Structure 1
Amino acid sequence: MARMMTGGCQCGSVRYSVEVSDDDAYLCHCRMCQRATGGVFAALKQVPRAAVAWTTREPDRRASSEIAVRGFCAVCGTPLTYEGHGSDQLDLTVGSFDDAGRLRPVGHFGVESRHEGWRDTRDLPDKRTDELPNIVSKWINLRGKLPD
């Protein structure tokens, strides 16, 4: 069943709404996605291009290769899209969704560039932001609360 989801960049100057038909997303490990996001992979949700409405303004775009452009916010730097030339689909970064926790990875792409040491992190120790007093005090002094 289709439903609307919203998202945008960190500073809020680029916002979108998108109609999605499922919670499926994927992880892309290709070097282009690694470099574009600064991460070891990109978490992406593919949607029909026509299902996306830019509610504040469209993202800034830059050709990332001969076959695609990447959408991002030039104000805060948030990566937002991967857009293949001539495709009726585009990929939104999972982290840019307001309710990103609804989405789940169902596959991997570009595995020839996967960094195996980052594949399974379940056994690493966990630490919450509110367990770091120096970070908490900075946020409390600036905003009166921790960020969302």
Structure 2
Amino acid sequence: MAGDVQKLSGGCQCGAVRYKVTGEVGHPHLCHCRMCQKASGNFFLPLIGAAKKDFVWTRGEPAWFHSSRPVRRGFCGTCGTPLAFDTVGDDHIAFTHGSLDDVVAVTPVEQSGVEGRVPFYGHLFELSETLSNRDDLPGGIDDVSSTNNQHPDHDTDQWEVRGA
């Protein structure tokens, strides 16, 4: 919920970079602009804002790419997970909604950059649905599960990055 004081944590897929938010979050939104599409490799990029004083990197540091002069984007230099949108000189930072350990803890309240929204966006929920059984892979979902290198959705005292 936007504006609520929460203790949120999150990080990248491999666990090399982790963060914690201890204050209010705000403006959870889906950005459809072309830069956010490219930065996320997706149709839109869900972002949530927090004051920099309430946001701390707890393990590792992201790598940064300046997508424009005033904006840099943070990502894990090991696994590539998009993590942050930082307007240089601002006292707030935006972090990626999908990198939260508990993605349902915050609900988006707006869509921005809608001029870049893909024309089929409104029809995505009309598509057929299937579960991830991964029978297209040798060993199926069991092989994926038993060889999973993804960091768990909670903080860990120690974590050895796997699969790098």
Structure 2 residues not aligned, in runs of 5+: 154-164
The aligned amino acid for 1:26 is H
Instruction: Please point out which of 68, 89, 92 is paired with 2:92.
Output: 89
Distance 1:140 1:15, change over 3 A: closer
| Amino acid aligned to 2:114 | V
Cα contact 1:23–1:104 (8 A) shared by 2: no
- Alignment of 1:117 with 2:116, yes or no, is no
Aligned partner of 1:142 in structure 2 is 147
Partners of 1:93 and 1:18 in 2: CA distance? 12
CA contact (8 A) 2:26 2:50 kept: no
Alignment length, in residue pairs?
144
Of Structure 1 and Structure 2, the greater helix share is in: 1
Question: 1:99 deviation in Å?
Answer: 0.2
* Equivalent in the alignment of 1:2: 5
TM value normalised by structure 1:
0.87
Following the alignment from structure 1 to structure 2, what is the Cα–Cα distance between the partners of residues 120 and 101?
23
Output one character per residue of 1:56-103: Cα deviation in whole Å (capped at 9) or x when no partner. Answer: 122111111111000000100000000012211111001100001222
Q: TM-score, normalised by structure 2?
A: 0.79
Asked if residue 28 in structure 1 is aligned to residue 31 in structure 2, the reply is yes
CA–CA distance in structure 1, aligned partners of residues 50 and 130 of structure 2: 33
**Per the alignment, in what secondary structure is the counterpart of residue 89 of structure 2?**
coil
Structural RMSD (CA): 2.0
Question: Which of 6, 10, 14 pairs up with 1:11?
Answer: 14
Distance 2:96 2:59 in 1: 17
Q: How far, CA to CA, are the matches of 1:75 and 1:37 in structure 2? A: 16
User: Secondary structure at 1:116's aligned position in 2?
Assistant: coil
C-alpha change, 1:53 and 1:22, in structure 2 (3 Å) is: closer
In the alignment, the residues of structure 1 paired with residue 27 and residue 39 of structure 2 have an alpha-carbon distance, to the nearest angstrom, of 22
Give the distance between the partners of 1:12 and 1:55, measured in 2 at CA. Answer: 11
